[in-house]
């Protein structure tokens, strides 16, 4: 071929990267690896093969971790934990800085080994993954340095278990290990069985950074190894990235254990293209959004929603661009789409494509082996199965919309909520649509942008918790002060000689802004400490929970109400409570046998504090290396089910409900079981305080009977559990696994209900959404 031919064809010649250095490292270990425990490789046990997915050749054999291996690793981490936590932030920062420098010094080795083990193009490993790994360790070195100054009164949570997937083996390691080490935690890491090698190399390099033995341990193996690690009683926190189904099992396994849990799970992220978008730029963004890493990305823009008026033009441009993508040898710097991680995943992708409705376009033929050609499926309806099923490959599905409102509706019609992308030249439209998308991350006129300073994580069945940024760092810290202690309190027993006075008083449920009788028609007598009948409390059932959730969901306009207006309502509630202070204090005295004046006054102060802070729980502009803005927005969680504490029947109820509605959430509350009349009286205050119907709903009754239907309700976004001890919490956390709703049980609260910091309640009442807004031409 002549030079003229090359210029005419504009074809790429091969530009292969040599694997020699990586293969030599493997050979130095005789291509057999044991787990990394206590700062050294342990003797290999039973092994399995890890192969190069592009060629099928054997790379090495690694140990199938047993429960004994997991136990040894956790014990090693536990021994190292105290000493690592006692080091100053500056001392830990120096080690993290050294780890970042080592990643840079060995960048080529790490990138090549990642591509050999995973199959992703070397260009992505070297230009995206490894630089981001170094960035995470640099960023968290800084957070370690300033920890004492900016996080006073906080300490590390303890030993962390990090279980990571095969799509970004080294980057996911950094996402979990860097903040854990910065906070003072020791870590046991379980890499994916398909891609363990860069984790083992990183562990070996960590010695050169001065990381003490035991602070980082790596146990290889399959899902059984990860399950044993997550269930180990010596683990204080589990950080998992992987499939939704495995995340659901981890939620069930850890239920009631008190372990912290961060889940970053699957996704079916929408990619919205409006009719005023720069179509060529949108096509390039879409190529990056779905064909990057062979589409094996949890936040891949795999669901294309394009405005109907430009759909044909956009699809034509996209098909032409797909035809120019180069599928092949991942070690070639000119390759765009590398190998699928293994044959099992490839067959799954092919099976899903074969089941597709609509019109399927395949961009050329893939090479022999574990490769999949870029694929576009158009003409689907919003309800088509492939618009909802995560394919996890280089396959894009597409439908159309007519109006922005319809685009939002289709985009949010998913059980996932990890990320979303929108393309438009109209800044007003962009800023109007972004907050409405149910996603933890939104990219505007860009996609797949990541940085250590910007939190990442999802909603719904995409998981909960954040990784990266200050919000991700906070997941590895806890208050050093003693946590809030909950007491179980019994209701006053029926006396042998009851005192009956006055006209019968029967409380009702409070649902949709109205007092309603319970569905089951039952009630129980509530007695005073002196044996006087105070009235009857309704006994709610599963249908009452359903009605209350429906009413709360119908009050969705509350989230759109400005923080200022929400604050005014809270002030008004406090004012009306103050007007009835003597009555409520008397009620508390009758219910509990203790003076109620202090509790009523504390409830009024708590409402004032919630109102005062409603417009002061602010977001952040993230300092990322990007021209433009990256904004972390605090948004309401949604609809929250609250099991209120037995004790402090008014203050506990007001603290939880008041903070939730202050941040724009709607609530279904189960008030104190032994003393429910404090809440039903408070409902009368709510009726006169301009609170929209359905924002607060109150269902009294047995927490033991109502906890399960509340926790399992698919239209709830979170449950706060302050009732019934560890057994009740375990039941709630297991029930929450159905749709992976968030569960909060007071983590971050200290001292008494009266002394607790309102900010802890308000922080639990928001989700962080990261919105990327690039600027420039």
Q: Looking at the annotation, which residues are catalytic?
A: 264, 298
Q: Where are any strands of DSSP class E within 388-542?
A: 395-401, 416-417, 419-423, 441-444, 459-460, 463-464, 477-479, 509-511, 514-516, 523-527, 533-538
Both tokens assigned to 530? 């002196």
Q: CB–CB of 250/238 below 8 Å?
A: yes
SS3 186: coil
SS3 63: strand
- C-alpha separations of 763 from 46, 182, 636 in Å: 46, 22, 10
- C-alpha separations of 260 from 37, 469, 534 in Å: 23, 18, 41
- C-alpha separations of 680 from 176, 508, 677, 686, 700 in Å: 45, 7, 5, 10, 8
- Cα separation of 16 and 329, whole Å? 8
Number of residues in the chain: 777
- Cα separation of 542 and 486, whole Å? 26
Residues with Cβ < 8 Å from 484, sequence gap 6 or more?
746, 749, 750, 751, 752, 753, 756
Angle, alpha carbons 130-136-138 (nearest 5°): 105
- Cα separation of 456 and 630, whole Å? 12
Annotate 249-315 with DSSP letters as a single string. HHHHHHTTS--EEEEE-----EEEE-TTS-HHHHHHHHHHHHHGGGG--TT---EEEEEGGGHHHHH
Q: Which of 645, 646, 649 is nearest to 596 (CA)?
A: 649
Q: Which of 531, 452, 546, 444 is nearest to 495 (CA)?
A: 531
Count Cα neighbours of 494 within 13 Å in the Cβ-side half-sphere. Answer: 5
């Amino acid at each position: 071929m002549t030079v003229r031919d090359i210029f005419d064809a504009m074809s790429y010649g091969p530009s292969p990267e040599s694997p020699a250095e990586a293969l030599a490292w493997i050979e130095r270990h005789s291509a057999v690896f044991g787990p990394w425990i206590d700062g050294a490789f342990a003797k290999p046990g039973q092994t399995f093969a890890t192969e190069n997915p592009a060629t099928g050749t054997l790379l090495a054999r690694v140990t199938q971790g047993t429960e004994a291996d997991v136990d040894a690793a956790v014990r090693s981490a536990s021994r190292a934990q105290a000493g690592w936590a006692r080091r100053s932030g500056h001392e830990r920062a120096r080690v993290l800085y050294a780890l970042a420098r080592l990643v840079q010094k060995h960048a080529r080795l790490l990138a090549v080994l990642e591509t050999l083990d995973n199959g992703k193009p070397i260009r992505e490993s070297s230009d995206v993954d490894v630089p981001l790994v170094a960035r995470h360790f640099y960023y968290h070195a800084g957070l370690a340095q300033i920890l004492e100054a900016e996080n006073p009164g906080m300490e590390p949570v303890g030993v962390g278990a990090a279980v990571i997937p095969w799509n970004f083996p080294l980057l996911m390691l950094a996402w979990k290990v860097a903040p854990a080490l910065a906070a003072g935690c020791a870590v046991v890491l379980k890499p994916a069985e398909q891609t363990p090698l860069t984790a083992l190399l990183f562990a070996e390099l960590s010695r050169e950074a001065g990381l003490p033995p035991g602070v980082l341990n790596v146990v290889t193996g399959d899902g059984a190894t990860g399950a044993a690690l997550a269930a180990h009683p010596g683990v204080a926190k589990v950080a998992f990235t992987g499939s939704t189904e495995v995340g659901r099992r981890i939620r069930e396994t850890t239920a009631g254990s008190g372990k912290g849990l961060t889940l970053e799970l699957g996704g079916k992220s929408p990619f919205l293209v409006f009719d005023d978008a720069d179509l060529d730029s949108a096509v390039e963004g879409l190529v990056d959004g779905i064909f990057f890493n062979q589409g094996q990305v949890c936040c891949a823009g795999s669901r294309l929603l394009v405005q109907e008026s430009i759909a044909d033009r956009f699809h034509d441009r996209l098909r032409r661009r797909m035809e120019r993508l180069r599928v092949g040898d991942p070690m070639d710097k000119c390759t765009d789409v590398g190998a699928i991680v293994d044959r099992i995943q490839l067959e799954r992708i092919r099976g899903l494509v074969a089941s597709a409705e609509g019109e399927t376009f395949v961009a050329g033929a893939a090479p022999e082996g574990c490769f999949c050609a870029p694929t576009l499926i158009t003409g689907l309806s919003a309800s088509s199965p492939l618009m909802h099923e995560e394919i996890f490959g280089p396959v894009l599905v597409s439908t159309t919309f007519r109006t922005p409102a319809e685009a939002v509706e289709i985009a949010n019609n998913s059980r996932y909520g990890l990320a979303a992308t929108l393309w438009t030249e109209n800044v007003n439209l962009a800023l109007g649509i972004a907050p409405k998308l149910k996603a933890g991350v939104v990219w505007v006129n860009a996609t797949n942008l990541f940085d250590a300073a910007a939190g990442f994580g999802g909603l719904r069945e995409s998981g909960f918790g954040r990784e990266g940024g200050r919000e991700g760092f906070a997941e590895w810290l806890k208050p050093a002060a003693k946590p809030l202690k909950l007491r179980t309190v019994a209701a006053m027993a029926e006396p042998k000689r009851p005192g009956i006075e006055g006209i019968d008083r029967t409380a009702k449920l409070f649902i949709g802004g109205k007092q309603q009788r319970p569905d089951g028609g039952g009630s129980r007598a509530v007695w005073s400490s002196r044996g006087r009948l105070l009235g009857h409390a309704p006994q709610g059932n599963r249908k009452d929970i359903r009605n209350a959730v429906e009413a709360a969901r119908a009050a969705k306009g509350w989230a759109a109400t400005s923080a200022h207006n929400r604050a005014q309502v809270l002030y008004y509630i406090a004012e009306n409570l103050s007007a009835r202070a003597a009555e409520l204090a008397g009620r508390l005295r009758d219910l509990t046998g203790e003076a109620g004046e202090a509790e009523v006054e504390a409830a009024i102060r708590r409402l004032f504090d919630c109102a005062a802070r409603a417009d002061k729980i602010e977001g952040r502009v993230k300092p990322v290396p990007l021209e433009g803005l990256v904004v972390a927005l605090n948004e309401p969680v949604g609809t929250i089910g609250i099991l209120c504490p037995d004790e402090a029947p008014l203050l506990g109820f007001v603290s939880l409900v008041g903070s939730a509605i202050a941040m724009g959430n709607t609530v279904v509350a189960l008030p104190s079981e032994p003393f429910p009349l404090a809440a039903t009286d408070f409902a009368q205050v709510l009726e006169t305080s301009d609170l929209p119907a359905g924002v607060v709903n109150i269902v009294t009754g047995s927490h033991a009977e109502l906890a399960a239907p509340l926790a399992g309700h698919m239209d709830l976004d979170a449950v706060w559990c302050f009732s019934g001890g560890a057994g009740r919490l375990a039941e709630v956390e297991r029930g929450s696994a159905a749709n992976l709703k968030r569960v909060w049980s007071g983590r971050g609260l200290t001292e008494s209900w009266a002394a607790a910091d309102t900010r802890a309640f308000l922080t639990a009442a928001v989700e962080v959404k990261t919105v990327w807004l690039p600027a420039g031409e």
